[in-house]
């Protein structure tokens, strides 16, 4: 097509593609960035978009801005500034659940307006769990409020969530509107106050009082020990499968690993034939130690001719979570060779409100799974070092680069300063930093000052989110080019037009809010923002209130654990059921819908 009106089939193709992409998001079997990029590829192959039009998505400032903010947030995390918030939280909470709730609501809402909320939640999770273990408070009373507070704080500035940056980028490209760092703060602050008040007044009535996976098992399990023994010369176990070592003995005894010549054997235990000199690591409880021991020296009770005792030590217990980009996700424990690789046993897995305590080998791990793991300290340390295995125990101060903390703080202050002020007052009226430029300078500052090493900065960027955004920007561009956005806009105006601009705004917010509970908030924002602009043109009003409705509707995800990443993090760690989010979050969704519907037209007139 050289010009003019696009063929009608192209519009139908784009509509079908958008439906297929959203359905694939809901299906959940493929990674979201692959789905979005696949959709972009389909548009390129079909000829609907030219290569230059696809490449334009890669030059959009929104993904680069979001990546830069990931780096600034990582600098604060790496230098211990976010962990310092944990110490402040414990100081304010003083063992009281109500004070802890108040501290969480304030700290999380304020901080997430300027830094990425994912590292904030990841750092505070073990702090809150530790507080609950010490004070007897229930984590389920605090973790949902923490996640919700970070979402509420994120809508107080353009940098608070990637959704805001995306909508701003689309609006700028369309020449519809420009937002500065605190353009949306008036409504965002009201959202934070209303949401925080709701959680303070009704959270204790709606939130469950439920133990985490670790506390549930710790109450009954008692201390665990690891006993190491060697297969001596002339042992009757030589040539037999490793599983026969404990055959007929207590079910409390478990073999964790078999080492040969200093290396862990990766084969299944029933396929390992014991040889002289093999070392076997056995896990047992206090009663098992008594059963196996016959003296103060370690003795496994099988006879010196069977196994030669080596040492006894207490096992290490670790609770952790599978992160979104973890190499463990999507694989079964058998495929990973988890026991052999980490020298540890999984005691239980929490997923979607269920505590799974058996048949782990065939279970495929997923993002958000909470694992209770036990094993030797060196194996547990290997697991803790695994990329995106999120340890739910507090990090040590030694893991932070505390010397660079002032520079990391200077980086975030520099970003806020550049993005907020017009420099005309010092005689430089042409010098104006938008959010992209300010974030880029801030990220460069923390790198040049050594707050982060280049490799750490690369790892800090969530490339999955950036690729998702790029793919959806391509699809959004096709919606606009083929006239699909205008067609949908006219349809919405036809349905809601009798209610006037206010009724249309209410409908846009509600649609964004419903969709974001099911699929990525970024995908929803990219699809709906061009439609909102076309709707504003169709009814001859300012596009700003419609775009603000998309921003807030796509960010305010409270009714499901899958609508926003921080909800998914606390889902497993807090021992929640899906219905807990519906019970607490749905009323909050409706309350904020009413607030947005009333205030958006007043703050940003049509």
H helices of 328-424, where? 333-336, 338-342, 377-384, 405-420
In a domain, 211, yes or no: no
- The residues pairing with 254 across neighbouring beta strands, listed in sequence order, are 283
Q: Tens digits of per-residue pLDDT, 458-506? A: 988 888 889 999 999 999 999 989 998 889 998 988 888 888 999 999 9
The answer to whether the beta carbons of residues 225 and 287 sit under 8 Å apart is no
Phi/psi zone of residue 279: left (φ > 0), alpha (ψ -120 to 50 degrees), beta?
beta
- In whole angstroms, what is the distance from residue 441 CA to residue 414 CA? 8
Both tokens of 576, joined, read 């929640």
Strands 316-322 and 389-391: antiparallel
Q: Which of 438, 439, 452, 437 is CA-nearest to residue 407?
A: 452
Q: Tens digits of per-residue pLDDT, 60-95? A: 888 999 999 999 988 988 888 887 887 888 888 888
In a domain, 252, yes or no: yes
SS3 content of the chain, % helix, strand, coil (to 5): 60, 10, 30
Q: Tens digits of per-residue pLDDT, 149-200? A: 999 999 999 888 889 999 998 888 888 878 888 899 999 999 999 999 999 9
In a domain, 264, yes or no: yes
Q: Tens digits of per-residue pLDDT, 384-436? A: 777 667 887 665 555 678 889 899 999 999 998 888 776 544 444 555 678 88
Both tokens of 280, joined, read 């076997």
The answer to whether the beta carbons of residues 552 and 155 sit under 8 Å apart is yes
Q: What is the pLDDT of residue 248?
A: 54
Number of domains in the chain: 1
Domain that holds residue 295: 232-306
- In whole angstroms, what is the distance from residue 365 CA to residue 25 CA? 18
In a domain, 299, yes or no: yes
The neighbour count for residue 593, using CB atoms within 10 Å, is 18
In a domain, 179, yes or no: no
Rounded to 10 deg, the angle between the 162-174 and 543-555 helix axes is: 160
Q: Tens digits of per-residue pLDDT, 16-34? A: 999 999 999 888 778 888 9
What is the helix (H) or strand (E) element at residue 513, kind and residue range? helix 500-516
In a domain, 147, yes or no: no
**Strand, coil or helix: 212:** coil
Is the whole-model pTM more than 0.85?
Answer: no
In a domain, 465, yes or no: no
Arithmetic mean of pLDDT over the chain: 82
Q: Which of 521, 539, 529 is CA-nearest to residue 469?
A: 521
In a domain, 262, yes or no: yes
Q: Mean pLDDT across the stretch 207-236?
A: 66
The answer to whether the beta carbons of residues 571 and 561 sit under 8 Å apart is yes
Both tokens of 31, joined, read 């990674």
User: Strand (E) positions, 315-432?
Assistant: 316-322, 344-351, 354-356, 370-375, 389-391
pLDDT greater than 50 at residue 455 = yes
Strands 279-285 and 224-230: antiparallel
The answer to whether the beta carbons of residues 406 and 76 sit under 8 Å apart is no
The residue with greater pLDDT, 299 or 148, is 148
- In whole angstroms, what is the distance from residue 522 CA to residue 527 CA? 9
The answer to whether the beta carbons of residues 518 and 562 sit under 8 Å apart is yes
Q: In what order do the strands lie in the sheet with 279-285?
A: 263-264, 254-260, 279-285, 224-230, 308-314
Q: What is the pLDDT of residue 605?
A: 94
The answer to whether the beta carbons of residues 517 and 557 sit under 8 Å apart is yes
């Amino acid at each position: 097509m050289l010009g003019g009106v696009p063929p009608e089939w192209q519009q139908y193709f784009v509509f079908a593609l958008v439906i297929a992409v959203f359905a694939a998001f809901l299906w959940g079997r493929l990674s979201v960035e692959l789905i979005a990029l696949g959709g972009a590829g389909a548009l390129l192959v079909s000829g609907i978009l030219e290569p230059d039009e696809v490449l334009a998505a890669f030059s959009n400032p929104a993904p680069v801005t979001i990546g830069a903010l990931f780096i600034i947030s990582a600098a604060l995390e790496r230098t211990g500034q976010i962990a310092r918030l944990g110490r402040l939280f414990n100081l304010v909470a003083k063992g009281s659940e109500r004070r802890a709730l108040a501290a969480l609501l304030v700290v999380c809402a304020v901080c997430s307006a300027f830094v990425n909320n994912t590292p904030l939640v990841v750092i505070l999770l073990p702090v809150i769990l530790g507080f609950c273990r010490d004070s007897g408070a229930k984590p389920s009373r605090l973790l949902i409020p923490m996640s919700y507070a970070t979402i509420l704080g994120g809508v107080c500035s353009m940098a608070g969530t990637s959704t805001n940056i995306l909508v701003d980028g689309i609006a700028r490209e369309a020449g519809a509107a420009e937002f500065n760092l605190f353009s949306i703060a008036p409504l965002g602050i009201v959202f934070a106050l209303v949401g925080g008040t709701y959680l303070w007044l009704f959270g204790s009535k709606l939130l469950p009082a439920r133990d985490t996976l670790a506390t549930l098992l710790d109450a009954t399990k008692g201390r665990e020990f690891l006993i190491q023994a060697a297969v001596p010369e002339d042992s009757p176990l030589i040539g037999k499968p490793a599983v026969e070592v404990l055959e007929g003995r207590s079910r409390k005894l478990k073999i964790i690993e078999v080492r040969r010549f200093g290396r862990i054997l990766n084969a299944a235990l029933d396929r390992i034939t014991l040889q002289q000199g093999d070392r076997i690591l056995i896990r047992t409880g206090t009663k098992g130690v008594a059963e196996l021991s016959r003296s103060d020296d370690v003795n496994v009770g099988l006879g010196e001719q069977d196994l030669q005792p080596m040492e006894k030590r207490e096992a290490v217990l670790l609770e952790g979570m599978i992160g979104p980009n973890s190499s463990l996700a999507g694989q079964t424990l058998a495929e990973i060779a988890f026991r052999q690789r980490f020298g540890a046993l999984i005691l239980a897995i929490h997923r979607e409100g269920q505590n799974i305590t058996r048949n782990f080998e065939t279970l495929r791990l997923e993002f958000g799974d909470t694992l209770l793991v036990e094993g030797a300290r060196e194996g547990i340390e290997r697991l803790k070092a695994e990329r995106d295995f999120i340890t739910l125990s507090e990090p040590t101060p030694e893991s932070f680069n505390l010397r660079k903390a002032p520079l990391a703080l200077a980086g975030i202050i520099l970003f806020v300063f550049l993005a907020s002020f017009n420099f005309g007052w010092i005689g430089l009226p042409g010098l104006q930093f938008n959010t992209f430029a300010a974030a880029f300078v801030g990220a460069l500052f923390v790198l040049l000052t050594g707050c982060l090493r280049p490799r750490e900065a690369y790892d800090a960027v969530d490339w999955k989110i950036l690729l998702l955004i790029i793919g959806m920007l391509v699809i959004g561009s096709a919606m606009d080019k083929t006239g699909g956005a205008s067609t949908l806009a006219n349809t919405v105006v036809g349905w809601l037009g009798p209610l006037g601009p206010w009724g249309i705004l209410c409908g846009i917010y509600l649609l964004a809010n419903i969709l974001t509970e099911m699929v990525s908030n970024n995908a929803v924002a990219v699809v709906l923002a061009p439609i909102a602009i076309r709707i504003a043109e169709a009814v001859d009003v300012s596009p700003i209130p419609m775009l603000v409705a998309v921003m807030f509707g796509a960010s305010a995800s409270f009714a499901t654990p899958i609508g926003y990443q921080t909800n998914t993090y606390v889902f497993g760690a807090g021992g929640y059921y899906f219905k807990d989010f519906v019970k607490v979050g749905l009323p909050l969704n409706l309350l904020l819908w009413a607030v947005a519907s009333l205030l958006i037209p007043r703050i940003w007139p049509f």
